């Protein structure tokens, strides 16, 4: 798929950029994101986070999933999808063996109605093809449970949450 190659190329060019982000910004952005995630989980599932399941599309090195584990989601219910092979290797180091790592194109995943939470954090900023974005959003919804939520993060300022209320 042509867009997949372009996404890989975009990430590769970012690696060459030696500009570093301010560590204070990174710390506070992470804290803000985790506060939002915990607010969402507490609002919808405060009673039993240990029964939740999560799939992250574009899991990177696993930072978000480590957070969801810290708030009570067991490793066996944590699924990480990642397109980039170097990040898949980092996921293998960072996540527990009981978690599931799904390398490759998220459009190839087949977990219909399986997850309470389907998350993507800034993945859409690297996809320029609007039809591919649409397909990915639909795939995320398809993988979510009928009463689950989809969290789409564009930046720390823009977080889209869709509560799935399908019959």
Question: Rounded to an integer, what distance in angstroms lies between the CA atom of residue 155 and that of residue 89?
Answer: 25
Assign 152 a pLDDT band (cuts: 50, 70, 90).
confident
Closest to 166 (Cα-Cα) out of 144, 152, 147? 147
Assign 18 a pLDDT band (cuts: 50, 70, 90).
low
- Mean pLDDT, residues 80-89 taken together: 96
Contacts 24+ apart (CB under 8 A), 76-84: 77/51, 77/52, 77/53, 78/53, 78/54, 79/53, 79/54, 79/55, 79/111, 79/115, 80/55, 80/56, 81/55, 81/56, 81/57, 81/106, 81/109, 82/58, 83/4, 83/7, 83/8, 83/58, 84/8, 84/11
The CATH number of the domain holding residue 37 is: 3.40.50.150
Assign 63 a pLDDT band (cuts: 50, 70, 90).
very high
Domain count, the chain: 1
Q: What pLDDT is attached to residue 10?
A: 81
Q: Give percent above pLDDT 70 in the chain.
A: 89
Which range has the worst mean pLDDT, 49-58, 83-92, 115-124? 115-124
- pLDDT tens for each residue of 124-135: 888 888 898 899
Q: What pLDDT is attached to residue 44?
A: 82
Across 1-5, 22-26, 86-90, 160-164, which has the greatest mean pLDDT? 86-90
**Domain around 62:** 2-163
CB of 151 closer than 8 Å to CB of 118: yes
């Amino acid at each position: 798929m042509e867009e997949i190659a372009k996404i890989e190329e975009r990430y590769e060019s970012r690696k060459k950029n030696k500009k570093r982000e301010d560590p204070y910004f990174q710390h506070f952005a992470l804290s803000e994101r985790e506060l939002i995630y915990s607010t969402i989980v507490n609002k919808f599932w405060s009673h039993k986070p240990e029964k939740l399941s999560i799939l992250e599309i574009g899991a990177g090195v696993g930072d978000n999933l480590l957070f969801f584990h810290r708030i009570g989601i067991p490793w066996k219910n944590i699924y990480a999808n990642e397109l980039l092979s170097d990040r898949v290797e980092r996921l293998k180091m960072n996540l527990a063996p009981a978690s599931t790592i799904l390398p490759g194109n998220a459009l190839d995943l087949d977990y219909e109605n399986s997850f309470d939470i389907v998350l993507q954090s800034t993945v859409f900023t690297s996809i320029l093809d609007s039809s591919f974005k649409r397909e990915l959003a639909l795939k995320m919804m398809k993988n979510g449970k009928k009463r689950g939520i989809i969290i789409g993060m564009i930046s720390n300022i823009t977080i889209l949450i869709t509560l799935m209320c399908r019959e």
